[in-house]
Homo-oligomer: A and B are copies of this chain.
Amino acid sequence: MTGFRPTINDVALAAGVSRSTASRVVNDVPGASDPVRARVRAAVAELGYRPNESARALASGRRRAVDVIAVSSGAGRLGTHPYFSRVLAGMMPVLEEADAQLRLHAMGSEPGAGDIEEIAANATLGVVLADAGPAVARRFHRRCRRVVSMVPTAASVPGMEADNTGGAYAAVGELHRLGRRRIAAVHGPAGNPCAADRRLGYLRAAEDLGLPVLDADGDFCREGGYATASRLLERDPGIDAMFVACDLMAAGAVQAITATGRRVPEDVSVIGFDDSIAAVCANPPLTTMRLPVEEMAAAAIRLLLDGSPVRGHRQYFPVELVTRRSTRA
């Protein structure tokens, strides 16, 4: 009795129907009356039935897999980019549990229509968009119902939504609370939806607090953080704080700030975003807005596992301030 795992035959037997009917119910395909559906579902629950994925794949000719699309980053960077590491780490145990496969696709910010077509055509459980803009997201969603985005994007595409705007707003508020009055911002890249929300949070806070807007766009990479922070500092040497839209860029920003001879946090306080490994490696370690990336990734997978997510579905996640040395004067 210990290692026994019920098969669909057991379910069919318990529900008093044929194997095919049980299969139909389990797979949510038409061809079973409501009362029968209920009986089968009860049997499934009762027995704790879970389909054997190998048998499924063999019989149907396709493997259950989630396609993860990592837009906007070079393939080589996937292994080291802190965000994607966390995304994968969050997904892996859920996928494991469901005995499903992870297919990772790295593509540039302008994926070819052919790529999208092919991935959508071969998708089984669905597609997770790791960092896609609205245009790409819509194109996927048009071809494949089972799509979920790790970031808020086109309104119709189901997505995980962290409180990016609120987080950015809170970061600026914190800086203001610490007495800073010339708070600059290094945003993410122009087309990026997360970047847009964080930018909005900054702008709103600046307005509400009556602060000058001192900002520029970056690229979510360390190099861009360095370059943008340098430029900002040159343009306005009086800057006494920086809100940087991701930790990798913030690590670069701190390098840029100290390279000018300024001290962090004494001369310029810095708050990043993400709470990735980059935050603690920076010098000084970064105060940052923590994004629950692993939880968001796990939730995205669960959504796909549970069936076709409803159009426009949103799942919300909080963002929290983590205080480290880059703000503690």
Contact = CB atoms under 8 A, between A and B. Distances in A.
A54 B254 CA distance: 50
A13 to B, nearest CB: 21
Interface in A280-303: 280-285, 294
A17 interface: no
Contacts of A280: 222, 251
Interface string A214-252: 000000001000000000000000000000000010010
Contact of A55 (B58, B90, B93): B58
Interface in A52-90: 52-55, 57-58, 63, 78-82, 85-86, 88-90
A278 B55 CA distance: 43
Contacts of A53: 54
Interface stretch (A96-104, A109-117, A145-153, A190-198): A96-104
Copies in the complex: 2
A80 B86 contact: yes
A258 interface: yes
Nearest to A251: B281
In order of increasing CB-CB distance, the 3 nearest A-B pairs are A79-B89, A283-B283, A54-B57
Interface of A: 52-55, 57-58, 63, 78-82, 85-86, 88-90, 92-93, 96, 99, 101-104, 222, 248, 251, 254-255, 258, 276-278, 280-285, 294
Contact of A79 (B99, B103, B294): B294
Contacts of A82: 80, 85, 277
Contact of A85 (B79, B90, B258, B278): B79
Nearest to A85: B85
Contacts of A79: 85-86, 88-90, 294
A81 B85 CA distance: 9
A219 to B, nearest CB: 14
Contacts of A92: 102, 104
Given A81-B277, A93-B104, A251-B283, 15 more contacts: A54-B55, A54-B58, A79-B85, A79-B88, A82-B85, A92-B104, A248-B281, A251-B280, A254-B283, A255-B283, A277-B277, A278-B281, A281-B281, A281-B282, A282-B282
